[in-house]
Structure 1
Amino acid sequence: MRRLLDGHEEGQPLQLSQLRAALGNAKARLAFLALEEFGLVVDDTVPTMRRWIDRQVDALPAGYREEAAAALPHLPPTPACPSGRER
């Protein structure tokens, strides 16, 4: 953490992606929570669901991509399978 802060421009918030690269996910999350209280960090990451949607939409023909990318986040959750696991 000290190495990350030493090379950082004063007055500029750190980015969560920088914390993850330097500390790993678990430690970065703790650091994020501590630094967030003081406004010293911003979450610049893309949500997992958004990344999944982007990957799925990339496989579609060009004419459908934008419409599908806009619609997918608003679909209702899938009901659980009979086995109890989500689909």
Structure 2
Amino acid sequence: MALTITESTTLSGKSVINGQEVATFSVSLSLHTVSSISVYNNNPSMVEANKVEFRKDRDAFQDAADSKQDELDKKADTESEPTASTPTTN
């Protein structure tokens, strides 16, 4: 048996329309993976009545998740790049 541990970053957000929380979003990001966003509709009738605003919030959350994923991947790639060694002379 072998243990594998994966570090992840979690983002969460809320869609608030007319002062009411209508949906929550969450995603767990890991290095070099495609993540799925979870959406919980707190108020389906408000979401239905305000599709345009809801979709703007959903898309903004997706963009934020994608940006964070790219940032994490770039940082990991930069940290794992081999460093050039300077030849020594005797």
TM range (shorter): under 0.3
**Max radius of gyration: which structure?**
2
What TM-score do the two structures reach when normalised by structure 1? Answer: 0.26
Identify which of structures 1 and 2 has the higher relative contact order when contacts are C-alpha pairs closer than 8 Å and 6+ apart: 2
Point out the structure with the larger helix share.
1
Point out the structure with the larger strand share.
2
